[in-house]
Amino acid sequence: MSGSHSFQRRQLLQAMAAAAMPLGLLSCADDSASEALVVGGLPVTCNLTLPVACVARSKALPATGAASLPFEYSKYSGWPEIKESLMAGRIQAAYMLAPLVMDLADKKIPVKIVSLGHRSGAVIMVRTDSPYQKFRQLAGKRIAIPSRFAVDFLFLRKMLQQEGMTPDDIEIFEMPPPDMPAALYANAVDAYCTGEPFGAAAQHAGYARPLRMTRDEWRNYICCVLTVREELIQTNRPLVQDLVNYVLGAGRWLDEQQANRDKAVAIAAGRQYFNQDPNIIRFVMENPTDRVTYGDLRMIRSEFEELMQLSIEAGTLKHPVSYETYMDESFAKAAQPAAINL
């Protein structure tokens, strides 16, 4: 990204100001201490297991008389903000980008990945009225990504490589995912690559279509992983285990039947969680039904090592990071997926 990035970004924001989207306003929840384990997340369907886990946990605690803490979802609008809160210890757990966790752990930030959150769920969107069918046609065009650490960026690189192209053949802008549909609507960008529901938002509105989807191109794709600070692991392993159990239980529950996904849509759309149009989240869950999946949350070393190598090639990681530096498999190995009764 060139030295004119800041100027270009201002131009993009000005162009987007006139465009409206049917998505709720996003704000970061209060990070102040409460009688709950606060878990940060973005309002993206890759994080859908988190609202489900929070609600299921809250419903289960009174019935069991458990003394353990409930889980509280804390909404963030972008990866930089959630990263800063986790680094500063304002939150003890969050859904994070896997390559970003690798980088933080390599820099001695005491964080570990303890679970996956989803499979698939990223799309590359173009305007419905555009002529683009192949990536070769995007040469010289403006494409937005959430972050250089986002696995969406690695997905974009994979698709470019299939056409014998590199990121130098296009103009890349970093942009918060909630801004992307409006940017495409305003012709401020020619395409964008991000997680759902921000692809579905534009598709549901009728002015955008997917150019590529991870469900078709990269079936074992993962980006968002449950990450916790090491002091939480050291001081309250049972609570971390409970969180992992509920996330895995939520994933299994979401993929069991469409009726469960409908319930999850109603939960996630609420102001306490994603604060979005339920019709857009439902569109993600149904078009097609495996646009995002949650049932297979196994942590496979080779998949993380592939992500690491792709990140090195992309320049977002400077050197290899050992698996043990950023990963704690013990909770996944001991997991007993919680029953989700919603």
Q: Assess if residue 287 is contained within a domain.
A: yes
The reported pLDDT for the residue numbered 23 is 35
- Looking at the structure, tell me whether residues 236 and 284 fall in a common domain: yes
Q: Which of 196, 217, 238 is the last residue of a domain?
A: 217
Which of 199, 217, 235 finishes a domain?
217
Q: Own/partner pairs for 229-238, CB < 8 Å, 24+ apart?
A: 229/86, 229/89, 229/92, 229/93, 229/110, 229/111, 230/110, 230/111, 230/112, 231/89, 231/92, 231/110, 232/92, 232/93, 233/112, 233/114, 233/328, 238/68
For range 101-113, the mean pLDDT: 97
Q: For residues 206 and 79, state if they share a domain.
A: no
Based on the domain organization, do 160 and 188 belong to the same domain? yes
Q: How many domains does the chain have?
A: 2
Global pTM reads 0.86
Residues 296-336 pLDDT 10s: 999 999 999 999 999 999 999 999 999 999 999 999 999 99
Same domain, 48 and 197: no
- CATH number for the domain spanning 180: value is 3.40.190.10
148 shares its domain with 229: no
| Domain, as residue range, for 101 | 37-120+225-301+322-333
Q: Are residues 146 and 272 in the same domain?
A: no
Same domain assignment for residues 238 and 328: yes
Distances 127 to 120, 205, 210 between C-alpha atoms, Å: 22, 11, 9
Residue 297 lies inside a defined structural domain of this protein? yes
pLDDT given for residue 32 in this prediction: 38
Tell whether 127 and 115 lie within a shared domain.
no
The answer to whether residues 108 and 252 belong to one domain is yes
pLDDT of residue 34: 53
| The pLDDT of residue 64 | 61
Domain boundary among 190, 217, 244: 217
Residue 310 within a domain: no
